[in-house]
Amino acid sequence: RDVVGNMYRMITVDYAPTMNESSDFSCVHVMGMENSDVFRGTLYSLDMFLGKISADELTWRIYELAKRWQVHVIGIEAYPIQQQFFERLQFDIQAKAEASGDYVPRVVPIKWPPKYEKSDKIMGLEGRFTQYRLKLPIDRQTNPGYSMDG
């Protein structure tokens, strides 16, 4: 609690608008950035949800994880196909938090520059891996999202 409480905590959301067998999964990833003297700039994966669920269920999962981890910000890709979900999430998170008297995290759009390839985004993490500044939870290695099976 002492370590996580001092981290800047955030959620990133990758929303999959369909739920059929060939659809991608929606992912809600809780992360914390530690900036202590020992672990300066170290990114921790704290929790994750991965699954094929409706937009309503996904909104609830996001809210529950935001509340549990007391995140500061929720980032979601806001491209045309996901823009409607982004706008809805902004409203729903604020309404749920205000109704229960909880802190309201900011919901912000994530937009990459045009023609920025997925491989470039992944390579942006290389420095964290080579400098051991990306930490994954060993106790969750069999959970969806952390396991090699997806």
pLDDT of residue 29: 96
Count Cβ atoms below 10 Å from residue 28 Cβ, excluding itself: 24
- Structural tokens at position 87: 């706008």
Count Cβ atoms below 10 Å from residue 65 Cβ, excluding itself: 20
Distance of CA 40 to the CA centre of its chain: 21
pLDDT of residue 97: 85
pLDDT of residue 45: 95
Which one, of 117, 113, 105, lies nearest residue 70 by Cα? 105
The reported pTM is: 0.87
- Structural tokens at position 65: 């994880």
pLDDT of residue 150: 54
pLDDT of residue 132: 87
DSSP one-letter code for 81:
H
Report the run of H or E that residue 129 belongs to, with start and end. Answer: helix 126-130
- 10-residue mean pLDDT profile of the chain (150 residues): values are 84 85 88 86 94 92 94 88 83 88 87 84 87 89 79
pLDDT of residue 82: 78
